[in-house]
Amino acid sequence: MDEITIGIDVSKATKKFKSGTEYYTQEIVQAILAASNGQDLFKLYTKSPLRHSLGVIPRNAEEKIMSLPPRLWTQLRLSWEVTVRPPDVLFIPAHTIPMSSRAPIVTTIHDLGFKHYPSLYPHHELIYHNFSMSQAVKRASHIIAISEATKKDILKFYPRARSSNITVIHHGFNRNRYRPLKTSDRLVFQPKYGKYILFVGRLEEKKNVCGMVKAFNLLRKETSVQHKLVLAGRPRYGFDKVKELIESLPSAIKRDIVLPGYIDDAKLPVLLREADIFLFPTFFEGFGMPVLEAFASGVPVVGSNTTSIPEVAGDAAVLIDPRKPLEIASGCSRLINKPDLRRRLVSLGLQRARQFTWEKAGLETLQVLIDTAYHAKK
């Protein structure tokens, strides 16, 4: 096939406060550019310069900065661009696609948590997710699902979707950032916190933060456990319930629950590899990238036995029912009190993490884009 032009919406990669979809956009775009043999051309659509997000832009990629309008950017400005000057294929790393495009669209769908737990989302977010997801499934030429669990949900909630039009491509993790603790490392967080159990993510209802707090309260009834609970992330929907719950706890427990806020990229790998346990009993995950990052950091994981987490974790984590705080507490207790189990899971986690790479994800995603452009030209 002749040289093709691949358009990519990279706007999420430029956000200051990144969560799952923002990190995915940053990593997958870098991986796609690295996987290209230089014969393909890329148009990178963005609201602001990419130098702080993607680093050096290769010569076969053009940065297209379109700052206005600040609202409805995808539906107005990006739609105009890809309708008037369409690439051969357009990649949208999150499921909000432009309302108009003369290019075939490939989009990534991360999860359908809003279908399973609508009460955990603000009303305006439910409207947005339902509309944008239905448009994505209806109009995209091809869909990338980040897990088999997500693909299963797409087919369940959108019966008109075709399995042959959905490709599962797993995430990777940043191997340059996440590694086990070395004896030569200068400890940063342990002197301040002592031993700690760590959660990283948005502090909101759907992440089951209240369940973690309840589990920690139960765990600390064991006299041998002196760990702190570090809940790192930005407060979001339902955080008022978390605060109320923490305030109701005995002072000895309450003072050992640490809320450091959003942890920037430079500090996050250090915070993770110095943790004693990574806690991830969330209600719903499309993939669960933090589980891989914990594995790669040599930290044992207590995670949910639902949605995509068993698919990602395999047999390398303690999997529990996220609806049962006692099970969460018991999982943490096993890792604290059974050194052999801890060592075994750390070893299995390191092995498991090696199976997921951004290089593989980039190659597979690039192939989907090329195939979609090829079929559109036939």
Q: What is the pLDDT of residues 173-188, one digit of tens each?
A: 999 999 999 999 999 9
Residue 33 has pLDDT above 60, yes or no: yes
The count of structural domains within the chain is 2
pLDDT for residue 205? 86
Together in a domain, 100 and 65: yes
Are 110 and 143 within one domain?
Answer: yes
Q: Are residues 214 and 308 in the same domain?
A: yes
Token pair 């993490």 in the structure block, residue? 353
In a domain, 152, yes or no: yes
- pLDDT(123) > 70: yes
Query: Residue 135's domain spans which residues?
Result: 5-172+357-377
Residue 181 lies in a domain: no
The pLDDT tens digits for 89-119 are 999 998 889 999 999 999 999 999 999 989 8
Residues 200 and 348 in one domain: yes
Contact 332, 299 (CB under 8 A): no
Residues 54 and 38 in one domain: yes
| Whether residues 337 and 303 fall in one domain | yes
What band does 121 get if pLDDT is binned at 50, 70 and 90? Answer: confident
Q: Is residue 185 part of a domain?
A: no
For residue 54, being part of any structural domain is answered with: yes
Read off the pLDDT of residues 260-300 as tens digits, 9 standing for 90 and up: 999 988 999 999 999 999 999 999 999 999 999 999 999 99
Same domain, 48 and 166: yes
Q: Tell me, yes or no, whether 70 lies in a domain.
A: yes
pLDDT value of position 57: 83
Residue 338 located in a structural domain:
yes
Same domain, 33 and 121: yes
Asked whether residue 378 carries a pLDDT value surpassing 90, the answer given is no
Question: Which residues neighbour 159 within 8 Å (Cβ) at sequence distance 6 or greater?
Answer: none
Assess if residue 178 is contained within a domain: no
CATH at residue 276 = 3.40.50.2000
Question: Do 13 and 61 share a domain, yes or no?
Answer: yes
Whether residues 322 and 369 fall in one domain? no
Residue 311 lies in a domain: yes
DSSP track, 74-128: IIIIIHHHHHHS--SEEEESSS---S--SS-EEEEE---HHHH-GGGS-HHHHHH
What tokens does 235 get?
A: 């407060």
Best CA proximity match to 149, nearest among 286, 336, 254: 286
Asked whether residue 81 falls in the same domain as residue 202, the answer is no
Q: Please tell me whether residues 45 and 121 are part of one structural domain.
A: yes
> CA of 66: how far to CAs of 9, 154, 270, in Å?
11, 32, 35
Q: Can you give the pLDDT at residue 1? A: 53
